[in-house]
Structure 1
Amino acid sequence: MASLSTSSLVFTVRRCEPELVAPAKPTPHEFKQLSDIDDQDGLRFHVPVIQFYKYDPSMRGRDPAKVIREALAQTLVFYYPFAGSGGVIDCPLMLIQVTRLKCGGFIFALRLNHTMSDGDGLSQFMMAMAEMAHGARAPSVPPVWQRHLLCARDPPRVTCTHREYEEVADTKGTIIPLDDMVQRSFFFGPADVAALRRRVPRHLSKCSTFEILTACLWRCRTMALQPDRDEEVRIMCIVNARAKFDPPLPTGYYGNGFAYPAAVTTAGKLCENPLGYSLELVKKAKNDVNEEYMRSVADLMVLRGRPHFTMVRSYIVSDVTRAGFREVDFGWGKAVYGGPAKAVAGVVSFYVPYRNKKGEDGIVVPICLPGPAMERFSKELDYLLNDKAVSGKKSTFIASNL
């Protein structure tokens, strides 16, 4: 594991006036219904994505801003709901910015209202833009709206346990404040993942990389934040449910098709037990998601007024290593980095594919914590990844003074 450099850069940017990009051809004028998975309070925000592209001599003389603007207009003909309408007041559904660099490369940045799409749907849209930039007349994967597929049943009925939407009182002020927040990115290569696997029982050693990393980060983060030992803490894993349906959601569906099931335990149990304890909790939460679970979430949204997911002592992780953001090629090759722009302060981390300076492929995870907690987090993580400590002392759990 290596902590990637976060030294600040100072540079001058000349910003042009923003402009509205409309679909290149007339599109239907109609009302589009969101699904009951889309329409929840926790998704009413803009999710930022950023892509970095190197200079490509073969594209000399081509303006990336012009190429992307034209590709966007053509793509919006097919994805016209993203264009919005006069009913969206002072809050565009989508914002795109292209920053040309002196070296000849450029940065592509996008913000999308999360109620419209999840990571897979957004990646599908960006791939369609890339195809248009290469001269395609239509996306290779036709977009599918069909949000009725994930609407509540009639009558709605909650049939599963959804601890991710529990109302938890923050009686001790444990929601992480935004003051003094520090963001660092941690790189996990194959050797790091192997070191973590050696810490779990043999019957759990074939767990996925996502599961072992999530168990590790949840435990280290909880120890770093130092809640009281009897307080409940939870991890919520973003689970793509598209293939959980029978039949699966149609190819090209670009709405939100995920759940975030929660694993819940006390801080004391999480931090005092071996890594295998948190790993089993993560695996069980992931495996809870099936078609009935998704139907139950949609029904819960209708019955309970579309609640926000639980924020108190919660940590959410989302794996975008297979979303394909890095593969988006507007003509300048694949992105050097492609994916979420940052962690959501104190709440959400993303697992992003990354190649380090040594040419080693792995996963980079942005973590955002208060300064002192970040130092404790880094030390706990180093301890878990240190092979010499596998049979050594157990990490200590420090009670909170809150």
Structure 2
Amino acid sequence: MPRSDNSCPFVVEKSEVVLVKPSKPTPDVTLSLSTIDNDPNNEVILDILCVFSPNPYVRDHTNYHPASFIQLALSNALVYYYPLAGKLHRRTSDQTLQLDCTQGDGVPLIKATASCTLSSLNYLESGNHLEATYQLVPSHDTLKGCNLGYRPLALQITKFTCGGMTIGSVHSHTVCDGIGMAQFSQAILELAAGRAQPTVIPVWDRHMITSNQISTLCKLGNDKNNPKLVDVEKDCSSPDTPTEDMVREILNITSEDITKLKNIIIEDENLTNEKEKNMKITTVEVLAAYVWRARCRAMKLNPDTITDLVISVSIRSSIEPPLPEGYYGNAFTHASVALTAKELSKTPISRLVRLIKDAKRAALDNGYVCEQLREMENTMKLKLASKEIHGGVFMMLTDWRHLGLDQDVWGGLVNIIPLVPLTLPFLCVLLPASKAVPGKSGGVRVLTTLPRDAMAKFKEEIDAVLHP
């Protein structure tokens, strides 16, 4: 994966890697992971960047670097989150992952300095220079260098000339999902702000998400009436992206735009009948429908091509019993809708929203969850490699607007950006509006990747709806 480009607008100087260990003794233990954690498709490294406004103290004390107080907070946080300092590896016997935690383990931390102000980069709000921002996160190689397996987490603290900073992280999706990583990051920020302990105490309990556990609790067994999973690979009749010239952009959708889109759907005759009058339409459902259809039209797919929309849906509170507060492992299922390109283009937008809503409801059914877990476990037993799907015919949507990172530390968190690689063009992420731009409260930023020619058409499709 490229870490910089020739048009890089800034230079980052990095210090040597420091291994930050828990500030108090932690257990020597080997931990197992949940079925969702073990899914080979989740064994990927995520790059995330958090952007913080300038701190007045640093403007007056140019020699001070924020890495010093973040390092102390990280050390204290690892007392509670010591598994993130362990080492991950797959067992050859059954292909399951395990996490080995021993005294002396730690999280790699890099102290860095950038040669520009955050305002000169527009606080990275627009998505420009995304390739250059890889300088602000640790290299994936930082996770290597241990005898057994690899480390699940590394951090980089970069100070800018204005006194602002970024916290860049690379972490294994295997150990925690976006909500779980946000919970850990929030703990660091709280401890950095002076709290004695995190507000939410982490809970491991990965045994709670296995097919046997859920089927026993829900008395589902092998009920043939359970909702069936959608086979994305089978449904997508043309999974290959037609070009390698991909571009990635962030589109700003204002709160007024979202209200307008919802009103269009509410006024649609298909939602004005008596049965649907009280239907609650969420922002995710509205944007999923419009973005999915706009992508399909922009890609100019064959009308008979089947295209899938997949939405990540949290199951933290839907399974019985609900997962405990503090659970930070992967806890989501996939809601899926499949249509031909012709159907997607011609179907009324209100009908698409209803299909998406029905799919989300079905995905929260415990029978559906259990079937998904069984499929993952069977894949591991057969030692099947995960299969990549690169197509514009497949779109996966995930919502990062409510991760819970709200601690007013340093100058305040103003932006969060997942550095989605161009090799994952199907992934679309909903992000909160940047706090660095006045008047954007309540809006949504849509991060998407498309072939260069299709991106222009995609933006035209969205603009035609918002500004007819």
- TM bin, normalised by shorter chain, reads 0.7 to 0.9
What is the root-mean-square deviation of aligned Cα atoms in Å?
Answer: 2.5
Amino acid at match of 2:189: A
1:367 is aligned, of 438, 448, 457, to 448
Tell me by how many angstroms 1:77 deviates: 1.3
Residue 357 (structure 1) aligns with: 437
Residue 331 (structure 2) aligns with: 257
Residue 375 (structure 2) aligns with: 300
Amino acid at match of 1:334: G
Residue 57 (structure 1) aligns with: 56
Would the alpha carbon gap of residues 178 and 55 (structure 1) be closer, same or farther in structure 2, given more than 3 Å must change? farther
Aligned residues: 376
Tell me by how many angstroms 1:86 deviates: 8.2
Q: Is the 8 A contact 1:230 1:266 kept in 2?
A: yes
2:178 is aligned, of 119, 132, 136, to 119
2:78 is aligned, of 62, 76, 79, to 76
Q: Secondary structure at the match of 1:102?
A: coil
Q: Secondary structure at the match of 1:110?
A: strand
Q: Secondary structure at the match of 2:211?
A: coil
Q: Is the 8 A contact 1:301 1:307 kept in 2?
A: no
Q: Does 220-229 or 54-63 show the bigger shift?
A: 54-63
Percent identity between the aligned chains? 29
Tell me by how many angstroms 1:169 deviates: 8.2
Tell me by how many angstroms 1:13 deviates: 1.5
Measure the CA separation in 1 of the matches of 2:71 and 2:198.
16
Residue 184 (structure 1) aligns with: 249
Tell me by how many angstroms 1:338 deviates: 2.1
Q: Is the 8 A contact 1:99 1:107 kept in 2?
A: yes
Measure the CA separation in 2 of the matches of 1:343 and 1:13.
20
Q: Is the 8 A contact 2:236 2:305 kept in 1?
A: no
Q: Secondary structure at the match of 1:304?
A: helix
2:360 is aligned, of 283, 286, 298, to 286
TM-score w.r.t. length of structure 2: 0.75
Tell me by how many angstroms 1:46 deviates: 1.1
1:337 is aligned, of 410, 415, 422, to 415
1:91 is aligned, of 150, 154, 166, to 150
Amino acid at match of 2:327: Y
Would the alpha carbon gap of residues 86 and 219 (structure 1) be closer, same or farther in structure 2, given more than 3 Å must change? closer
Measure the CA separation in 1 of the matches of 2:183 and 2:458.
35
Tell me by how many angstroms 1:314 deviates: 1.1
Would the alpha carbon gap of residues 176 and 357 (structure 1) be closer, same or farther in structure 2, given more than 3 Å must change? same
Q: Is the 8 A contact 2:180 2:327 kept in 1?
A: yes
Alignment of 1:197-276 (within 5 A): 197-200=262-265, 201=268, 202-203=271-272, 206-276=280-350
Superimposed CA distance per residue, residues 307-331 of structure 1 (whole angstroms, 9 cap, x where no aligned partner)? 7487252101111111123x144x3
Would the alpha carbon gap of residues 56 and 321 (structure 1) be closer, same or farther in structure 2, given more than 3 Å must change? same
Q: Is the 8 A contact 1:238 1:318 kept in 2?
A: yes
Tell me by how many angstroms 1:274 deviates: 2.2
Superimposed CA distance per residue, residues 230-270 of structure 1 (whole angstroms, 9 cap, x where no aligned partner)? 11101011111111023311000011111112111111100
Q: Is the 8 A contact 1:84 1:93 kept in 2?
A: yes
Residue 47 (structure 1) aligns with: 46
Tell me by how many angstroms 1:343 deviates: 6.7
Would the alpha carbon gap of residues 14 and 178 (structure 1) be closer, same or farther in structure 2, given more than 3 Å must change? farther
TM-score w.r.t. length of structure 1: 0.86
Q: Secondary structure at the match of 1:55?
A: coil
Measure the CA separation in 1 of the matches of 2:173 and 2:11.
31
Unaligned runs of 5+ in 2: 1-6, 90-145, 216-220
Q: Does 1:161 align with 2:245?
A: no
Tell me by how many angstroms 1:381 deviates: 1.0
